[in-house]
Amino acid sequence: MTATAGTIPAVATTRTPYPEAARQLLRETFFGAARDQLESRAWSEITMSDVASAAGVSRQTLYKEFGSRDEFAQAFVIHEGERFLDGVDEAVKEHLDDPRAAVGAALQAFLRSAGEDPLVRILLSDDGAGGMLPLVTTQGMPVVHWATARLTATIEEGWPQAPEAKVELLAESLVRLAISYITAPGDAPEKTAAKAGELLGPFIDDALGSVG
């Protein structure tokens, strides 16, 4: 920032080189194209050709980036999930002094944002055989693993002294609960989050410490 002559650029956020950025852009474009398509048709009715041409690129390029249709669908779901997990991170960071409240706020944020998201609604209504719903349920292990890892990282950042095994167990359980509540909503988000907090409270106190 300073215009002083002798200042060293140092490690100041090294600019992402073009090739890497281009690859990222390609994937983003595919995801965006898929999202557009999903607004009018179900996933089972969208062909790989559709996605590729909507991205302005050939089908083979799509297959090179993602090996198969399922792989792409999975990557897409995870990509969309990032958005919600970002919100979760934020919610957690606002309650670093109170683990129970953090979990409650995080779960509530997730349920609320996901519940209101039009794309999520579409995915949930698409329960056919070739749809995307199985990707988070019957074939949902990759998503669960990914979300668990990400949530684990978030928690460990907030409570570094907590035992890793317990944090991971907590994270995975929360992920599974969250997915369940999305696919089969019970009460309103606040109530659901409160009940989860009650259920997991003792374990949270034990794992993360009741005083942080």
Residues sharing a CB contact under 8 Å with residue 204, sequence separation 6 or more, in sequence order: 99, 100, 103, 170, 197
Look-up: residue for tokens 């996933």?
Answer: 43
101 interacts with, out of its own copies, DNA, none, CB within 5 to 8 A per kind: none
Tokens for 24, please give them: 């990222």
C-alpha–C-alpha distance, residues 195 and 177, integer Å: 11
Binding flag, residue 1, its own copies (CB under 8 A): yes
Look-up: residue for tokens 């992402």?
Answer: 16
Stretch 113-132: interaction string toward DNA, x if CB under 7 A: ----------------x---
The span of 42-50, 80-88, 95-103, 159-167 binding DNA (CB under 7 A) equals: 42-50
DSSP 24-79: HHHHHHHHHHHHHHHTTS-GGG--HHHHHHHTTS-HHHHHHHSSSHHHHHHHHHHH
Stretch 111-140: interaction string toward its own copies, x if CB under 8 A: -------x--xx--x---------------
User: What minimum distance in Å lies between the beta carbon of 35 and DNA?
Assistant: 16
Q: Which is nearer to its own copies, 16 or 139 (CB)?
A: 16
Q: Which is nearer to its own copies, 28 or 205 (CB)?
A: 28
Chain residues in the site for DNA (CB under 7 A): 18-19, 26, 46-49, 56-61, 63-65, 67-70, 129
